[in-house]
Structure 1
Amino acid sequence: MADASGPSVAARDDLAGVVDLFGWLTRAELSRALSELAFKQRAEVDEAAIDAAIDLAVAEYALVPAPSAALSSAGSESASERETALAVGPAAFPTLPAGAEDLPHILEIPDREVDREALSDAVLERLREEAVAAIGDSDDERLETLADVTYDVEAWAPVDVDPVRTRILAEVDEA
């Protein structure tokens, strides 16, 4: 799942592909799906690598936390499970890893959907909050990442990211 330099872009896109199969997954469900894939591929399960790959995918907006208002399901998840849901984010190019097509049968997860409008509003709010925090911390590396994400968000959803991008780029240019 990860090499010495950390999870690759392909790994993040594979995670997004697995999530895309279901509409959304909780972090625990995604971890279980990745463990099942490793088992199918006769690979050793490295929980730390799985956690790192998920963390990186979330940090780089390949996966995004989905608010409960954006989630629908034929199942009966608890509120706490829905709060930890992850959906495909704007920086992802979902790909299906080998063997993933069997995951819906293995995991027995009900059909799910994501309300893209509610999800895009949540992503824009998160982007604003992270930009403010990165500016406050003078975190130029994070600001560069967030600047890139603004273009992804703009292509992904009909939201106005220009004010956020303008503020981020002004900070980056001052550095």
Structure 2
Amino acid sequence: MADASEPSVAARDDLAGVVDLFGWLTRGELSEALSELAFKRRAEVDEAAIDAAIDLAVAEYALVPAPEDALSGGDEGGGTEAAADGSALAVGPAAFPTLPEGAEDLPHILDVPDRSVDREALADAVLGRLREEAVEAIGDGDADRLETLADVTYDVEAWAPVDVGPVRTRIVAELDGDD
């Protein structure tokens, strides 16, 4: 059971819903959007909780860092700086985006231009990240992370036309102790 202080799956899906509303957002823009929602609800803004929720959403592939070639819109040249520093976030394969209450007003509140994401380029980046994280988790002997990544392989397959079979096979073999 998850620690009560950890963001919930619903919270991660709400984050994905806010990002989906714009196509993609920088980490700072997402944080600002969440602060605006808290303000509308007359709630305290807990920057540490927002950062933790975003970190968890990225770790669990509800949100994924988007490479420059997957981004359009935004500043001149798309999301070059945001992609370079890893702060450009798009909806990932493990998300079921939902809009939190009041989020429909965010496009009128935030000064964010029209944006879109090239799903094929994003899927390639996600597959590359998944491979790297699987190798790292195998090297570290991190069974918990491998379990999460195994689940993500199914999400990725349903989300994009990429072949994650070899990655999943290696993860499962490691979890089963088949070297």
- Give the TM-score, by structure 2 length: 0.93
Match of 1:105 among 93, 108, 113: 108
- Which digits, 9 at most, give the CA deviation of each residue in 1:145-165, with x for residues without a partner? 000000000000000000000
Matching residue's letter, 2:21: L
Cα displacement (A) at 1:49 = 0.2
Matched, 1:128 2:131: yes
- Which digits, 9 at most, give the CA deviation of each residue in 1:90-113, with x for residues without a partner? 000000000000001100211100
User: What 5-or-longer segments of structure 1 have no aligned partner?
Assistant: none
Q: Secondary structure at the residue paired with 2:36?
A: helix
Change (3 A) 1:74 1:26: closer
Q: Secondary structure at the residue paired with 2:72?
A: strand
Aligned to 1:24: 24
Q: Secondary structure at the residue paired with 2:94?
A: coil
Larger deviation: 134-143 or 72-81?
A: 72-81
Over aligned residues, Cα RMSD in angstroms?
A: 1.4
Where do 4+ consecutive residues of structure 1 move more than 6 Å? none
Distance 1:152 1:127 in 2: 11
Number of residue pairs matched by the alignment: 173
CA contact under 8 A between 2:150 and 2:172: conserved in structure 1? yes
Aligned to 1:91: 94
- Give the TM-score, by structure 1 length: 0.95
Residue identity (%): 81
Distance 1:74 1:131 in 2: 32
Distance 1:164 1:75 in 2: 35
Matching residue's letter, 2:48: A
Aligned to 1:9: 9
User: What 5-or-longer segments of structure 2 have no aligned partner?
Assistant: none
